[in-house]
Chain A
Amino acid sequence: MVEPILFVLMSMAALAGAVTVVAARNPVYSAMGLLGTLFSVAVLYVLQLAHLVAAVQVIVYAGAVLTLFLFVIMLIGVDKEEHWEEPLRYQRSFVAGMAGVVVLMAAGLTFFTDFDWVPAAVGGTDPSRTIGTVQAIAEPMFTDWVLAFEATALLLTIAAAGAIALAHYRRRPH
């Protein structure tokens, strides 16, 4: 009985955090909302037995990335708030229309057709096979996915170098 309760709570928290991100006028509140969402999603991961991923989510996202966001917010200035007026014509109505279409479509698919949202595994789900322990994750990662792994390593190096190059402030001689 733990799982449904946690699921409901954490889902609510995640969605509430997301709404905060979008709706808050102060970027710091947005960041806090994001933090909430990230934690909640991490718990949802745990509910799905994805332990390693959940840990990484907390460490990398909630720890590193969010801190980075907060630093940049401080750097740029917290007091810069958006005007409520939307400068782009039709942007809001267009987005609202799309939201309506998506919701209607989803509802339509769910209630009026037998659309299969999640394909089921042959022979039923077996949670014991997808327990995301470190060993369990490591095995496919360093066998089947080793090339992608190395590529991401390269990507991180390049990203770090690129970030340094971009952020390096050269005082232009005028």
Chain B
Amino acid sequence: MTELVWLVIALPLAGAGFLHFAGKYLREPLAGWLASAAIGGSFVVAAVAAVPFIQGGEHGTAVSLWDWMPAIGASMEILWDPLSALMALVVTGVGSLIHIFAIGYMHGDERFHRFFTYLNLFAASMLTLVLAGNYAMLFLGWELVGLCSYLLIGFWFTRPTAAAAAKKAFIVNRIGDLGLMVGLMLVFTTFGTLSYTGIFERAGDELTSGLATAIGLLFLVGAAGKSAQVPLYVWLPDAMEGPTPVSALIHAATMVTAGVYLVARSASIFELSTVAQVTVATVGAATAIWAASIALAQRDIKRVLAYSTVSQLGYMFLAVGATAYVAGIFHLMTHAFFKALLFLGAGSVIHAMNDEQDMYKMGGLLKKMPVTAVTMGIATLAIAGIPPLAGFWSKDEILGSAFERGGWFSVLWIVGLVTALLTAFYMTRQWVLVFLGQPRWDEGIEPHESPRVMTAPLVILAVLSVFGGLINTPLRLTLEHFLEPAFELVKLQHPPEGVGMFILLAGLSVLAGLAGAAAAYLAYNRSSDEWRGFEGGFEPLWGAWEKAYGVDDIYGRVIVAPGKRAAEAAAFQFDIPIIDGAVNGLGRVFRDLGEWARPIQTGYVRNYGALFLAGTIVVVIWLVAGGA
């Protein structure tokens, strides 16, 4: 089955190709089901191909497809190892559910088939990214997911905000990609190849720690762009302009985790540089608490989730920075489950509320949408870290690993703990605002539960959110054993050993989660005047959070506006008047010379004749005088 693993990419790609050309001839749901079938088939292939890893003992194989750029050792090759298999399973599994959900969500959109074309293209790109056998192909997938993200954020292109958000996402990502690209230049110059196997096997012997730091930091720039870490996270909240299934699939479950995957994949390089590790972890922790604090005060249901995603990605960075790669990947997986569920639930709510996204105008939806409410409730508990739901196990493993690493990481552990408290608070706040209390809907809105095609994925994801964490509990480290072959070249960071320490640390984080949840419940399960008063008590902090610290504004004023002014100066004050002016000036010099010499040409033939004769006489005198 391993030789056929290219099918994992090829199926959604074929789906996208088919839908691109034939989609407009298909009736509405058919295009969606076809796309879902493509990615579902991909999931099946991946699952079957992953069986050897589950059985254990397999290290993974590289499947070579074709040469791409031989001069830099880049070819199309797939590395099928436990890490890529797990990523492929998450992408195709969660992806299939979101595809199905989207059939209901996108109902009635005039570009229905186009949406599924892009979704399938995205799936293929993401799979290319995770299955790549070398950095060049990873970069291929890396950029293609950016493209799909661009296309899907800007899917409703008539909305100027959506188009602007799409462009912003792509450009900010590109800034990060610049770092990745320079990192790849460095890697190629160092190793003479971009192939994983070639690099990782030699990294330990040939890579100096200075070079490893440089590469690691450059990779971090790329990862921070794609995974929305400080300071490049600003595109992700805006990306919520896209249709909600897009937010769920791309901006929560899969694409944004690519940065985590990149760091995990490059573990052998990060292994050699403590500086890079600490930087990654610090960036992660800073992002976690920064974004969580912003999420506290958001009113838009999707923006809360967006900042929550940024924050949770920070956790994953903290994990991989602490070399707890398994914990990072574990959290990546559980987060995919519950965040996708939250987004889909939010989508269900938005769908029911006629595209209303302001939580302050919701409330009391529990009775109207029980399935959505319950499943979202489960996800909320999961992300808040309440045992035994999925989020508890993965988050706890991250925090434990950071604690065990000690030193600076202890500080990061405390940051993580505080973030856990904030997470529980804003998630509970969201759930309470949306589903409890009095209805605060606008006139004419009649919420209703979503159709089966939308709720079924919710239920499946809810089940995964409940039990997904059980694959890697301290009692039974199934995931760790599964991933071990992929990380055999590096030393993995683990949480502290022993039941006592586990209970102590878990207790602390559960306590933080419960405290946050309880506070939010108490603060928000009241009349709107009361919680508005509660929010006012935090001014001016609350205002800063609500405006996301005004970072967009600052970027606009510090980078974008001066940049544009500089470009305008270059174009209109330098290029045209100075450079082109010099060229035209040279032309003018000759024109003036001509102007000066012009009167000689009187136009009178007799003048010319006289001058001609004079010239002849001069020549004759010269000849006679023996000049020649």
Whether A and B touch (Cβ < 8 Å) is answered with yes
A residues contacting B by CB (< 8 A) are 88, 91, 94-95, 98, 101-102, 105, 109, 115
CB contact between A91 and one of B607, B620, B621 (< 8 Å): that residue:
B607
Interface string of B586-609 (1 = CB under 8 A from A): 000000000000000010101100
A115:B607 contact, CB within 8 angstroms? no
B607:A88 contact, CB within 8 angstroms? yes
Contacts of B617 in A (CB 8 A): 98, 101-102, 105
Distance between B625 CB and nearest chain A CB, rounded to angstroms: 10
Contacts of A115 in B (CB 8 A): 624
- Complex: A109 Cα to B620 Cα, angstroms: 12
CB contact between B610 and one of A98, A102, A105, A109 (< 8 Å): that residue:
A98
A88:B604 contact, CB within 8 angstroms? yes
Question: Quick one: given A88-B606, A91-B607, are A98 and B613 in contact (CB under 8 Å)?
Answer: yes
Contacts of A98 in B (CB 8 A): 610, 613-614, 617
B614:A105 contact, CB within 8 angstroms? no
Contacts of B620 in A (CB 8 A): 105
- Complex: A133 Cα to B559 Cα, angstroms: 99
Contact residues of B between 480 and 506, Cβ < 8 Å to A: none
Distance between B267 CB and nearest chain A CB, rounded to angstroms: 89
Distance between B328 CB and nearest chain A CB, rounded to angstroms: 90
**Which residue, B606, B610, B617, B621, has most C-beta atoms of chain A within 10 A?**
B610
- Complex: A94 Cα to B606 Cα, angstroms: 11
B624:A109 contact, CB within 8 angstroms? yes
B624:A91 contact, CB within 8 angstroms? no
Chain B residue nearest to A87 (CB atoms) is B604
- Complex: A94 Cα to B617 Cα, angstroms: 13
Contacts of A101 in B (CB 8 A): 617
Contacts of A88 in B (CB 8 A): 602, 604, 606-607
- Complex: A115 Cα to B625 Cα, angstroms: 10
CB-defined A-B contacts under 8 Å, sample of 17: A88-B602, A88-B604, A88-B606, A91-B606, A91-B607, A91-B610, A94-B610, A95-B610, A98-B610, A98-B613, A98-B614, A101-B617, A102-B617, A105-B617, A105-B621, A109-B624, A115-B624
Chain B residue nearest to A109 (CB atoms) is B624
Chain B residue nearest to A97 (CB atoms) is B614
Contacts of B606 in A (CB 8 A): 88, 91
- Complex: A109 Cα to B604 Cα, angstroms: 33
Contacts of B607 in A (CB 8 A): 88, 91
Contacts of B610 in A (CB 8 A): 91, 94-95, 98
- Complex: A82 Cα to B45 Cα, angstroms: 107
Interface string of B227-240 (1 = CB under 8 A from A): 00000000000000
Q: How large is the interface on B (under 10, 10 to 19, 20 to 34, 35 or more residues)?
A: 10 to 19
- Complex: A101 Cα to B404 Cα, angstroms: 113
B residues contacting A by CB (< 8 A) are 602, 604, 606-607, 610, 613-614, 617, 620-621, 624
Contacts of B602 in A (CB 8 A): 88
Main secondary structure of the interface of B (DSSP, over half): helix
Main secondary structure of the interface of A (DSSP, over half): helix
Distance between B479 CB and nearest chain A CB, rounded to angstroms: 95
Chain B residue nearest to A108 (CB atoms) is B624
- Complex: A94 Cα to B607 Cα, angstroms: 10
- Complex: A102 Cα to B621 Cα, angstroms: 9
Chain A residue nearest to B602 (CB atoms) is A88
- Complex: A95 Cα to B617 Cα, angstroms: 12
Chain A residue nearest to B620 (CB atoms) is A105
Distance between B595 CB and nearest chain A CB, rounded to angstroms: 21
Chain A residue nearest to B613 (CB atoms) is A98
Given contacts A88-B602, A105-B621, 11 further A-B contacts (CB under 8 A): A88-B606, A88-B607, A91-B606, A94-B610, A94-B614, A98-B610, A98-B617, A101-B617, A105-B617, A105-B624, A109-B624
Distance between A61 CB and nearest chain B CB, rounded to angstroms: 23
- Complex: A54 Cα to B147 Cα, angstroms: 95
Contacts of A102 in B (CB 8 A): 617
Distance between B608 CB and nearest chain A CB, rounded to angstroms: 11
Contacts of A94 in B (CB 8 A): 610, 614
Distance between B617 CB and nearest chain A CB, rounded to angstroms: 6
Distance between A51 CB and nearest chain B CB, rounded to angstroms: 32
- Complex: A94 Cα to B620 Cα, angstroms: 18
- Complex: A73 Cα to B617 Cα, angstroms: 33
Distance between A108 CB and nearest chain B CB, rounded to angstroms: 10
- Complex: A129 Cα to B606 Cα, angstroms: 42
Distance between B612 CB and nearest chain A CB, rounded to angstroms: 11
Distance between B291 CB and nearest chain A CB, rounded to angstroms: 83
Distance between A87 CB and nearest chain B CB, rounded to angstroms: 8
Distance between A132 CB and nearest chain B CB, rounded to angstroms: 29
Distance between B266 CB and nearest chain A CB, rounded to angstroms: 84
Chain B residue nearest to A92 (CB atoms) is B610
Distance between B606 CB and nearest chain A CB, rounded to angstroms: 6
Distance between B614 CB and nearest chain A CB, rounded to angstroms: 6
- Complex: A109 Cα to B617 Cα, angstroms: 14
- Complex: A94 Cα to B614 Cα, angstroms: 9
Contacts of B614 in A (CB 8 A): 94, 98
- Complex: A109 Cα to B624 Cα, angstroms: 9
Chain B residue nearest to A102 (CB atoms) is B617
- Complex: A95 Cα to B624 Cα, angstroms: 21
- Complex: A94 Cα to B613 Cα, angstroms: 11
- Complex: A102 Cα to B618 Cα, angstroms: 10
Distance between A126 CB and nearest chain B CB, rounded to angstroms: 29
Contacts of B621 in A (CB 8 A): 105
- Complex: A25 Cα to B606 Cα, angstroms: 18
Contacts of B604 in A (CB 8 A): 88
5 closest cross-chain pairs (CB), A and B: A94-B610, A88-B604, A98-B614, A98-B613, A101-B617
- Complex: A115 Cα to B620 Cα, angstroms: 14
Distance between A48 CB and nearest chain B CB, rounded to angstroms: 25
Chain A residue nearest to B607 (CB atoms) is A88
Distance between A150 CB and nearest chain B CB, rounded to angstroms: 31
- Complex: A114 Cα to B370 Cα, angstroms: 131
Contacts of A95 in B (CB 8 A): 610
Distance between A83 CB and nearest chain B CB, rounded to angstroms: 15
- Complex: A4 Cα to B594 Cα, angstroms: 56
- Complex: A98 Cα to B613 Cα, angstroms: 8
- Complex: A94 Cα to B621 Cα, angstroms: 17
Chain B residue nearest to A113 (CB atoms) is B624
- Complex: A98 Cα to B607 Cα, angstroms: 13
- Complex: A115 Cα to B607 Cα, angstroms: 32
Chain B residue nearest to A86 (CB atoms) is B606
Distance between B113 CB and nearest chain A CB, rounded to angstroms: 64
Distance between B240 CB and nearest chain A CB, rounded to angstroms: 74
- Complex: A115 Cα to B623 Cα, angstroms: 12
Chain A residue nearest to B604 (CB atoms) is A88
